[in-house]
């Protein structure tokens, strides 16, 4: 069973930041009567290359979480879990870079520095798990935006539960992403879940992508994404997320 991560936080000292990140970004909670499937190593595809690592300063730096590129007017937007990028006790996490498609030390599209982070005020004030979603803008590289390099998935809201999704993310102990094809279920009217093993520390923020390529969730929310690696949670993408997206792209 994976331990629950401490939420990462901003700090002026790299050593302290590293210590926080080494505990950051897990997924999954709850127990099922029958065994859940287990995630497999994700084969590289253009769509999966929109998913990448959030790490400190360099692709090989301490890992925070997983994030993915979503379509936006500025072509520079990521979605992840709010607890990946802000701690209520300390603040926003500094020095993050996003590396899409990272595998085995190789960064096929380079790294993109995080420039700004948008979270709901209710997350910033109280770390309310009902608002554990963040949008992150990244700076351009060599005259291009990240969406120009890898494309971006649209955000979808109000889709309900019982949807087939694939979830790709980066466990901290692996240099390759994992993936699982699963069905979403209702955890509560405002939280959703899926059951698949292997989503350990580092996979918070992993996108839940439907067959038509839309993102309807990210690992986070209830129990910070979950307290064991067999069941993962997300805030249900609804008006809360629509409002946050509009704020991030205004």
Query: What domains appear along the chain, each with residue ranges and CATH number?
Result: 25-249 (2.40.10.10)
User: Bridge partners of 69?
Assistant: 78
Nearest CA-CA partner of 86 in 108, 40, 118: 118
Mean pLDDT of the 114-127 span: 94
pLDDT at position 26 over 50: no
Task: Label residue 34 by pLDDT band (50, 70, 90).
Answer: low
* Cα dist from 217 to 62, 112, 221, 238, whole Å: 25, 23, 10, 10
pLDDT of 31 > 50? The answer is: no
Query: Of residues 243 and 3, which shows the higher confidence score?
Result: 243
Instruction: Decide: helix, strand or coil at residue 172.
Output: coil
Contact 13, 211 (CB under 8 A): no
Q: What is the dihedral of CA 151, 156, 159, 160, to 10 degrees?
A: 100
Phi, psi of 207 (to 5 degrees): -80, 145
Does the pLDDT at position 199 exceed 50? yes
pLDDT surpasses 60 at 17:
no
Q: Mean pLDDT score of the chain, rounded to an integer?
A: 88
**Percentage of the chain modeled with pLDDT above 90:** 80
User: pLDDT of 180-192, one tens digit each?
Assistant: 999 999 999 999 9
pLDDT score recorded for residue 12: 28
Range name among 32-46, 109-123, 177-191, 198-212 with the lowest pLDDT average: 32-46
> Residue 93: is its pLDDT beyond 90?
no
- Across 213-226, average pLDDT: 97
Separation between Cα atoms, residue 84 and residue 71, nearest integer Å? 20
Q: Which SS3 state, helix, strand or coil, does residue 164 take? A: strand
Percent of the chain whose pLDDT exceeds 70: 86
What is the model's pTM? 0.87
Among 14-18, 30-34, 117-121, the least confident range:
14-18
- Average the pLDDT over 43-71 and give the result: 96
């Amino acid at each position: 069973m994976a331990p629950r991560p401490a939420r990462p936080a901003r700090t002026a000292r790299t050593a302290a930041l590293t210590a926080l990140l080494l505990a950051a970004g897990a997924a999954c909670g709850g127990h099922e009567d029958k065994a859940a499937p287990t995630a497999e190593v994700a084969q590289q595809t253009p769509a999966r290359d929109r998913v990448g690592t959030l790490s400190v300063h360099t692709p090989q730096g301490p890992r925070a979480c997983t994030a993915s590129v979503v379509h936006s007017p500025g072509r520079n937007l990521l979605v992840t879990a709010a607890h990946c990028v802000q701690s209520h006790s300390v603040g926003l996490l500094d020095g993050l870079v996003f590396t899409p498609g990272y595998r085995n030390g190789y960064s096929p599209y380079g790294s993109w520095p995080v420039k700004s982070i948008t979270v709901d005020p209710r997350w910033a004030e109280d770390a309310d798990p009902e608002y554990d979603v963040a949008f992150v803008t990244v700076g351009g590289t060599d005259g291009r935006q990240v969406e120009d390099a890898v494309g971006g998935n649209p955000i979808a809201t109000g889709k309900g539960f019982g949807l087939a999704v694939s979830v790709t993310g980066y466990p901290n102990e692996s240099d390759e992403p994992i993936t699982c094809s699963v069905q979403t279920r209702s955890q509560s009217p405002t939280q959703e879940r899926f059951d698949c093993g292997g989503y350990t520390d580092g996979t918070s923020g992993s996108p839940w992508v439907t067959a038509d390529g839309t993102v309807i969730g990210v690992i986070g929310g209830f129990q910070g994404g979950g307290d064991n690696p067999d069941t993962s949670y997300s805030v249900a993408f609804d008006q809360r997320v629509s409002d946050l997206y509009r704020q991030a792209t205004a």
